[in-house]
């Protein structure tokens, strides 16, 4: 069995930056353990498998795997899959069947190897818990207790399909100083996936509003995490200075790793209730090949 694959850099227009993604465009017939083994072989943060949709009016079904597990939803595989499908079909929108639900992504082509995708969240972020152990958070991240918090933002656990511990810190210099303490990590970040999304406001930076780093999920540090950005929309909505209306943000991630990513976030509230969330970004094809799985 031979399978074509694409390699994309996501949340960037510049090759060899952003978050890497493997896409297997015609994955029908693969068993779950075969998809997991292929994702482990690529050893990227995620590999996405594109299959025929179960419902005819949808564009494709999508399965998302890290090297260790399947995810019901992830942002950079969704953007990458939408761009790959848009480039091959010239469609301006694609409907993807994901484990979390139907995701409709709008696609805009930049050139024959790159484009942009934006999609509404199939599940709005929900607050799961507060994180009150500031000393534990500081110890796990190798920073000071007084570094925890940014303006009105306080640590909390949110999920828009995948659970993240959201930890605001004082400024971008604190982000740069983070040193993961594995000895206490799982005790502090004890919710599903043990992953922490550490973020701050960036009022002194011209190109973005927020900066973030993501640690956990067995990946070490991830350069661009759309599902975490989706969860962050929930915390942003709580503090957004509007009862009804729309707010847009640009978030940078991966700069400390040398893999800069740019993620767009959007939220809309009605009567002080979050009713819409969306994320998006660019993606560019950097390579393609064939998996030779014949015995």
Residues annotated as part of the active site: 46
Distance CA 219, CA 129 (A): 23
Q: How far is CA 72 from the centre of its chain?
A: 12
Distance CA 28, CA 171 (A): 46
Residue holding tokens 């700069």? 255
Q: Are 197 and 166 in contact (CB under 8 A)?
A: yes
User: Can you name the residues that pair with 109 across neighbouring β-strands?
Assistant: 115
Alpha helices in 21-167 (DSSP H): 32-42, 75-89, 134-141
Please tell me the number of Cα atoms within 13 Å of 286 on its side-chain side.
Answer: 18
CA distance between the termini of the chain: 8
């Amino acid at each position: 069995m031979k399978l074509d694959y694409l390699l994309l850099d996501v949340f960037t227009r510049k090759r060899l930056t952003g978050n890497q993604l493997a896409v297997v465009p015609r994955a029908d017939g693969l068993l779950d353990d075969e998809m997991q083994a292929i994702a482990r072989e690529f050893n990227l943060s995620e590999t996405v498998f594109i299959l025929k949709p179960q419902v005819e009016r949808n564009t494709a079904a999508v399965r998302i795997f890290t090297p260790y597990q399947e995810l019901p939803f992830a942002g950079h595989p969704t953007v990458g899959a939408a761009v790959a499908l848009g480039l091959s079909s010239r469609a301006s929108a694609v409907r993807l069947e994901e484990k979390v639900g139907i995701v409709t992504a709008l696609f805009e082509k930049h050139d024959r190897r790159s484009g942009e995708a934006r999609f509404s969240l199939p599940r709005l972020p929900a607050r799961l818990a507060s994180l009150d152990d500031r000393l534990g958070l500081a110890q796990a991240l190798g920073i000071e207790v007084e570094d925890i918090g940014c303006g009105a933002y306080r640590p909390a656990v949110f999920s828009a399909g995948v659970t993240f511990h959201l930890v605001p810190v004082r400024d971008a210099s604190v982000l740069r100083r983070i040193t993961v303490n594995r000895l206490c990590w799982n005790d502090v970040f004890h919710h599903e996936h043990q992953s922490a999304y550490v973020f701050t406001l960036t009022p002194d930076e011209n190109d973005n509003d927020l900066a973030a780093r993501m640690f956990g999920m067995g990946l070490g540090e991830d350069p661009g995490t759309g599902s975490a950005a989706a969860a962050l929309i929930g915390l942003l909505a709580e503090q957004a200075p509007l009862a009804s209306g729309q707010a847009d943000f640009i978030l940078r991630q991966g700069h400390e790793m040398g893999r800069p990513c740019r993620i767009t976030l959007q939220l809309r509230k009605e009567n002080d209730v979050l009713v819409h969330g969306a994320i998006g970004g660019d993606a560019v094809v950097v390579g393609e090949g064939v998996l030779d799985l014949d015995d």
